[in-house]
Structures are given as C-alpha cells and as structure tokens.
Copies of this chain bind each other. A is one copy, B any other.
Amino acid sequence: MKIGMIGYAFMGAAHSHAWRTAGRFFDLPATPEMAVICGRSADKVAAAAAKFGWAESATDWRAVVDRPDIDVIDICTPGDSHAEIAIAALEAGKHVLCEKPLANSVEEAARMAEAAKSSSARSMVMFNYRRVPALALARQLIADGRIGTVHQVRAQYLQDWLVDPDFPLTWRLDAASAGSGALGDLGAHSIDAAQFLTGQRISAVGGVLETFVDSRPRLDGSGRGPVTVDDAALFTARFDGGAIGVFEATRFATGRKNAMRIEVSGSLGTLSYDQESMNELRFYDGTEDARTAGFRRILVTEATHPYMDAWWPPGHIIGYEHTFIHQVRDFVTGVVDGTELSPSFEEGLQVQRVLAAVQQGVSLRSV
C-alpha cells in the first residue's frame, strides 16, 4: 500500500512515525510504503523526506494525487486546503486519511462528504483521540451499558500557549487558514469524543467565544496583525438522546498544557479521562456497594485493553504518537478488509455543523 502524504510539519512527523511503525507492532493486512511526501518548499520537504524516511519528496500535490502507483493520500495541511485535496484524491480513486477538523466550513465539509459517498475509494477523518486505548475502552464500557443511560457530558480541552500576548500570529490565529481558533482546533476533538463515547449527536448549542488578545506580532516582523479567531470557546449543549453537556476549549488555561478531559455520567456510573494522563481511565461503578465504591484508576495497559496487546507488559505506558499508529492500523485494516472506517467524512461534517452553530452564537441573558 503506497502512501503519499501532503504536509510535513508537526502532524507530518507524527504521521510519518505512524506509517513507519504500525506494521512493526501490529499484524497489518498490507504493508504501508512511505512513497512520497509533498510540501511547498522543495528544500524543506526533501529534508523532511530524509528525516522521516519517505522514498521521495514532491512540491505539487496534484501530481502526487495523479500518480497511478499511489494508493493513499494522507492530508496533514491546514484546514483551508483539505477540501480541494481530499476531493481531488477521492475523484482519482485514492483512499484518503484527512486531518481534523474536516474543513473550515460546513459547505466545504459537505462537499467532501459528498465526494466520499460518490467515490469507490475509502476515507477517514483523523480524530486520533478515538484511538487512545483509554477512550476506546470507555466507548466499549458505555456501549456495554456499564454506566447506564448517559445523562451528562463535561468536556474540557485546556491549553495555555497563547497566554503570552507576544506569542506570534501563526496561521492557526488566522480565520482564513484555520477557520476558527480554540473551537476548531481543540473543541472539535471534544465534540467528536463526546459523540463517539455517548453514541448520541449534539443537537443544539450555545455559549461564549472570546478573543482575549486581539493583535499579535506578525511572523515577518512587520508589526502586529489582527487575531481573527477565538482564544476560548465555552458552550452548553443538548444531545439527541437526551443527554446534556458543557464544553470548554481554550488556549488561555495557564498551566494546562494539553488537558483534553472528558467525563460522562450515566444512571449507573461515570467515566472520566484526562489526556495529560492518557494511560488512565477513571471509572465509577454505581452498582457496587456504597461501602467500597469509588472511582477506579484503570491503568489501561493490559493486553485485554484496546490496541494494547501490541505493546508492553502491564504498567508500561504509551505516548501521544501511539494514537496515530493505532489510527494507521485501523485505516489499513479497514481499507484492505472492507470494514467500516470511522470517523467517516459524514461524521466529520456533523462535527463541522456543531462548530458552525457554536460560532453563530447565542445572546446571553443579562443579569
């Protein structure tokens, strides 16, 4: 299975490691070949190819998409190019693995979902946190009824890298490139995780978006430019299955580095997770005798835990990049075996609709 990857920054390193490593630990039905990596700067992408272990580098993504030997297009670029690349790839019959959020607008995402439906090729959105063993286990426990009827979701995705008002104006702070700020970058993960875990879809939302620092130093040194995305997004939500939820996505939570937290409470129990301790899942089983009931810290490192039979003995933890390796495992397996690939572009589109509804906002009531 020959892979062409478009984009080579932070996500490029993570994806490359995943393509290189998945087959060394998992039994895959096909061997990924790291055929070509593509980026705009010839020099930089050539260096990235050497560093990450790709056979070739290229600067024209359309040429990569057109190569008949390429089976898979892996899209790691900023959100504004997802739709164009993904649709071209799908039309060329290439399987597509696309970074999240699916697009920068509902319109783009809808065209992508349509292309995915029309294509004979397969597609998947890279909500990699679904592949955290602890969250995959949480999904199993909820599906098994271990927490009963889901009543409430509390989700936070807390980072702090924008607290410094002189942090520069990167593409992630520009609405044209990134679509939104903390909302799309972080909140999209929380939304997908909430829907994945509960099996319910968010049906209505409302809250607050805020930009605390509205101008920042331009990268080219030409003074300060406007920040056109949110620094923080807070909202409450209703789900179509009767649950309610509260969400916070922020880049201003000083001291919280990558705290993607989600807690789901049901009639029989609660599950709780924090990405900063990604090998742990907290589980309260409300069917236990109150005398000995308590939140259990499940160290998700047993061979019977999702994905963990490929790794180390119990108690030996894994890290962030394993989520990508697991996603590659599931992608390759699903493509070859013809089984479901999840999250689909249709699911990615639904997340986009939630993001759009949050961005449209509601009027709070004055006190």
Count of A interface residues, CB-CB < 8 Å: 109
The answer on a CB contact under 8 Å between B366 and A258 is: no
Known A-B contacts A254-B265, A265-B252, A304-B290; A17 and B10 likewise in contact (beta carbons under 8 Å): no
Copies in the complex: 4
Bound together, the chains give a CA A141 to CA B293 distance in angstroms of: 13
The answer on a CB contact under 8 Å between B163 and A286 is: yes
The answer on a CB contact under 8 Å between A152 and B252 is: yes
Bound together, the chains give a CA A302 to CA B248 distance in angstroms of: 24
- Does A169 reach chain B (CB closer than 8 Å)? no
- Does A196 reach chain B (CB closer than 8 Å)? no
Known A-B contacts A14-B312, A234-B236, A367-B203; A270 and B292 likewise in contact (beta carbons under 8 Å): no
The answer on a CB contact under 8 Å between B362 and A357 is: no
Q: Please name all residues of chain B whose beta carbon is closer than 8 Å to the beta carbon of A315 when the two chains form the complex.
A: 159, 256-259, 275-276
Q: Within the complex, what minimum Cβ distance (angstroms) separates A137 from chain B?
A: 7
Q: Which of B358, B365, B367 contacts A362 (CB 8 A)?
A: B365
Q: Which of B254, B284, B305 contacts A291 (CB 8 A)?
A: B305
Q: Please name all residues of chain B whose beta carbon is closer than 8 Å to the beta carbon of A145 when the two chains form the complex.
A: none
Q: Within the complex, what minimum Cβ distance (angstroms) separates A141 from chain B?
A: 7
The answer on a CB contact under 8 Å between A286 and B254 is: yes
- Does A101 reach chain B (CB closer than 8 Å)? no
Known A-B contacts A257-B299, A297-B295, A316-B320; A362 and B361 likewise in contact (beta carbons under 8 Å): no
| CB-CB nearest in chain B for A365 | B357
12 A-B pairs whose Cβ atoms sit less than 8 Å apart in the complex: A10-B312, A13-B25, A24-B53, A141-B292, A206-B206, A206-B207, A206-B363, A234-B245, A258-B313, A259-B315, A275-B315, A277-B277
Q: State the A residues within 8 Å of B (CB).
A: 10, 13-14, 16-17, 20-21, 24-25, 51-53, 137, 141, 146-147, 151-152, 154, 156, 159-161, 163, 201-208, 210, 212, 232, 234-238, 242, 244-246, 248, 250, 252-259, 265-270, 275-279, 281, 283-286, 289-299, 301-302, 304-305, 312-322, 350, 353-354, 357-358, 360-367
